[in-house]
Structure 1
Amino acid sequence: MFHRKSCIAFLAGLALLGQALSAQADLPDFTSLVEDASPAVVNISTKQNLPDRGAASSRMLPDLEGLPPIFREFFERSIPGMPADPGRGRQQEAQSLGSGFIISADGYVLTNNHVVAEADEIVVRLPDRSELTAKLVGADPRTDVALLKVEGKNLPTVKLGKSSELKAGEWVLAIGSPFGFDHTVTSGIVSAVGRSLPSESYVPFIQTDVAINPGNSGGPLFNLKGEVVGINSQIFTRSGGFMGLSFAIPIDVAMDVANQLRTEGKVRRGWLGVVIQEVNKDLAESFGLERPAGALVAQVMEGGPAAKGGIKVGDVILSVNGKPIIMSADLPHQIGSMKPGTTAELMVAREGDRKKLAITIEALPDEKEMLSSNEGSGAEKSSNRLGVRVAELTAEQKQSLDLQGGVVISQIIGGPSAMIGLRPGDVITHLNNTAIDSVSTFTKIAENLPAKRSISMRVLRQGRASFITFKLAE
């Protein structure tokens, strides 16, 4: 009996050991990938010359030569910009460190814009410790991509993959120089794709849990095939260090930018000419949508592609060329990747119907922000129900804001207007999906608003429009 129990325990142990070994065997082995890819991953260091403050500092202090050695040494070590030689200032330099990777045998290198921004000197160091001076071909701050060029022949290059085929849950690997430790390898999985960040509306980021730290910026993110699928760009952190949230620029986006920088010296991206916002549950209910989805058009730029193509304020853009807009941030990703001059088919929800609109995409202009003063004059009336006092817009204000109607808030009395954050100077152009053409129209609609139902209001503040929702009590 004892032998039988021992045999069963032994067999059970073997089974558990087998499972453990099998699980270990299922983990990826990155050694070959690292050996093949590392030669094309480089360290990037930059120098920026700063104004020389040494001479100015020395004029404010006594002649160091007249001081005892112990005090002279103290001043030289302790005071920034203090030259050892009182007759000569010391050149000030700011240095930064990052990573990059070679994409062509003749010396084109990809990295982040923030790694090389404002640099007076850029040095690329290869794995064999040889150093090459790099020239900045071009940079695109909107995507944080920069293209460098070094002089060389038959340089090692990375293999490029397709970030569009990347899926959440896949293994990925990063090689870079965190804190100056060259060719550090870290791995993890893809946490999400198409992630939007407030700082970059034109990049559908790859989110991973790969350990990324200062110095990794600009380095490659590889898939298990050894192909670059992204450029490690930034992390989310509250401590300054890695917290499990890393973001990479998709290589498809980066290469499109690099090719434009290489051939044209600048990047041209698509522009629709609208200000959009997210559709939440209350807005979806207010606009008669089955569920929150799409991008709500809060403002249409005068003379822009959207205005020419018939898009109106209050439209909800549901898809572009058949591809759904799940979140509002999906729209800039899709439009920005389109070439100016191409035609996009947009499906929009308008007043309970679906409409298809053909829009000719134009190039994103450099400047499109317009700030205006919104102080009104003329007849004023109060809406006690909304807790606000409004006035007519002057003809000059309508012209400067490109409005046919609307009212400007002159005073916040309280109630719903105070609760939803309205301010004097805000211009109300729509209330409950109805355009406001005068103060009398506004007060009439306000007094007949339904209770306990989501109500939308379009507000223009400093030239920028947005929709807000609220509910009225009985």
Structure 2
Amino acid sequence: MTNNSPRRAGWTAAIIPSSKRALMASVLALGVAGGMIGQSALVQSTPALAESAQTTMKPFSFADLAEKVSPAVVSISVKTEATPNVSFFQEFPDFPDGHPLERFFRRFGEERFGNRGDDQGKRWRHRRGRHPYAMAQGSGFLISSDGYIVTNNHVVDNAEEVTVTVQGGKTYTAKVIGTDKKTDLALVKIEDNGGFPFVSFADKDVRVGDWVMAVGNPFGLGGTVTSGIVSARGRDIGAGPYDDFLQIDAPINRGNSGGPTFDLDGNVVGVNTAIYSPSGGSIGIGFAIPASTAKEIVADLKDDGKVVRGWLGVHIQTVTDDIAESLSLDEPTGALVAEVQPNSPAEKAGLKTGDVVTAVDGEKIDNSKELARVVAAYQPDSTVKVEVLRGGKAQTIDVKLGRLNDRVASADRDSGNGDDTQSSSTSLEDLGIAVVPAAETGAADQGVVITDIDPESDAAARGLRVGDVILEVAGTAVESPRDVARAIDDVKGSGRKAALLRVQNGDTARFVAIPLSRG
């Protein structure tokens, strides 16, 4: 087929009207196997089309875009105090030990030298008679002519000295204006008021499938350009409470941290932050903080060096299919209030445990992460309209937000393990558990404590453990096994297929939906 293609292309071009030859030349050249061979046949049969064919065959190029934006991308070198056994790859601190993604998600851009944990490294530092230190490298980009630079927090974290290298090799001393660990963003300022080239954040969101170009300083090599597309949006990779990453397939590696990802108009659509990599090198899956998030954080940091967030004061969890079924919701959407913190804005406004938050100021809330991000974007003392479902009925509650400070933002609650409690108990076969009044065991002042559980039951699969205290079943407070059984019967009688339990372990309360498929 390949040998016949040039002849077929030449023969076809000879019989079509001359007014359509230029268009057909490009289509044939791209459509046949060995496109350049097809072009050659066309040029031989119709020499006058040579220049036109060459023009239409010219591939898309990022050269003009790279030339336009690269001068605003910088390399950042940071001197920090050394700590023992610092690895080239900093793992996300929020992953618990043994998490299946722990070894795959890694910070990149933190190449550290002079900080080896072995004896040779120690001697190297001792010979020079200097205080132990480490060097980190990353990327950044200028957002103003007077030298403000955006980068990642993990690039400049605990920095003692910061040096910025611009295109052409000139270096400047810089200082850290402010950092935000929760979003892994930082703002740095060159200590020189020269007229620097700069870039701007995009005003509109990119779509999945859009072309993007990443520029950075991988492996300390200086300005490097790679391209790809946005492969997904809204990724939650466990890096922090406000995860909302763009996933891109433009190759990025260690040293690209803090560098920009551009759209085809030369606007920054994301700040490169993480890669998915078993080995530490790029396998084509990278993550960038979206411009919409970065703009807000950077503006706060530029104002006073810190980020101020709104605080609602609730522990929340995402509404799963089981929870939606137990609450008779049409779809699993919204954020379920598992606990209202004492003296919080939520308590003062009248939010209650079991409420499902569906919107804030008209913005739809799909899950717990989204509620955390939306609330955090407001300034303290802002009054917002929180739409909730309570007992199946919609309500709107005005809440005056507080100040988050360093409080733990809302997040899904994991189940914990309680101590075994020995006591006589009543079996609840529908749930696969046995319980006794919590007051009898001293485990709690109210509710019933789980004393035994079928390891193959739905309750065990949903994370219930011996020692957990069940406070409510389907919104009804329970104090005895009989209360639990009665509440389960009520759920069955209503036609629901799952019972929603409010469970406490230690100081943490959460909701667990248990399917009623037994008995």
TM range (shorter): 0.7 to 0.9
Q: Give how far 1:51 is off.
A: 7.1
SS, match of residue 332 in structure 1: helix
Q: Give how far 1:226 is off.
A: 1.0
- The root-mean-square deviation of aligned C-alpha atoms, in Å, is 3.7
Report what 1:98 is aligned to.
138
SS, match of residue 193 in structure 1: strand
Q: Give how far 1:446 is off.
A: 4.4
Task: Report matched runs for 1:326-365 at 5 Å.
Answer: 326-365=366-405
Q: Deviations over 1:448-473 (max 9, x none)?
A: 66399222222222323332222232
CA contact (8 A) 1:382 1:390 kept: yes
Residues 1:294 and 1:452: Cα distance change in structure 2 (over 3 Å): closer
CA distance in 1 between counterparts of 2:465 and 2:8 reads 83
SS, match of residue 281 in structure 2: coil
1:160 aligns with one of 196, 200, 209: 200
Report what 1:388 is aligned to.
433
TM-score (norm 1): 0.82
CA contact (8 A) 1:41 1:183 kept: yes
CA contact (8 A) 2:242 2:372 kept: yes
Q: Give how far 1:94 is off.
A: 1.9
Q: Give how far 1:49 is off.
A: 3.2
Residues 1:183 and 1:6: Cα distance change in structure 2 (over 3 Å): closer
Amino acid at match of 1:388: I
SS, match of residue 395 in structure 2: strand
Q: Deviations over 1:417-436 (max 9, x none)?
A: 43433222212122234232
Amino acid at match of 2:453: I
Residues 1:50 and 1:86: Cα distance change in structure 2 (over 3 Å): closer
Matching of residue 142 in structure 1 with residue 154 in structure 2: no
CA contact (8 A) 1:374 1:408 kept: no
Moved more, 258-267 or 41-50: 258-267
Q: Deviations over 1:24-79 (max 9, x none)?
A: 779653222222211111001112233799xxxxxxxxxxxxxxxxxxxxxxxx94
Q: Give % identity.
A: 37
Q: Give how far 1:168 is off.
A: 2.2
CA distance in 1 between counterparts of 2:147 and 2:25 reads 50
Moved more, 421-430 or 95-104: 421-430
Q: Deviations over 1:393-435 (max 9, x none)?
A: 459989xx9xx84223233355444343322221212223423
CA distance in 1 between counterparts of 2:128 and 2:174 reads 30
Matching of residue 432 in structure 1 with residue 487 in structure 2: no
SS, match of residue 144 in structure 2: coil
2:510 aligns with one of 466, 471, 474: 466
TM-score (norm 2): 0.75
Report what 2:69 is aligned to.
37
Matching of residue 201 in structure 1 with residue 241 in structure 2: yes
* Unaligned segments of structure 2, at least 5 residues: 1-6, 31-52, 86-117
Residues 1:27 and 1:192: Cα distance change in structure 2 (over 3 Å): farther
Amino acid at match of 2:221: F
Task: Report matched runs for 1:8-47 at 5 Å.
Answer: 8=12, 17-19=25-27, 20=30, 28-47=60-79
2:80 aligns with one of 48, 53, 65: 48
Q: Give how far 1:270 is off.
A: 1.5
CA distance in 1 between counterparts of 2:325 and 2:84 reads 62
Report what 2:406 is aligned to.
366
Amino acid at match of 1:432: A
* Unaligned segments of structure 1, at least 5 residues: 54-77
SS, match of residue 201 in structure 1: coil
CA contact (8 A) 2:426 2:481 kept: no
Task: Report matched runs for 1:75-474 at 5 Å.
Answer: 79-81=119-121, 83=123, 89=129, 91-162=131-202, 164-368=204-408, 381-385=425-429, 386-394=431-439, 405-412=446-453, 415-446=457-488, 450=492, 453-471=497-515, 472-474=517-519
CA distance in 2 between counterparts of 1:226 and 1:426 reads 54
CA contact (8 A) 1:373 1:462 kept: no
CA contact (8 A) 2:125 2:131 kept: no
CA contact (8 A) 1:160 1:229 kept: no
SS, match of residue 467 in structure 1: strand
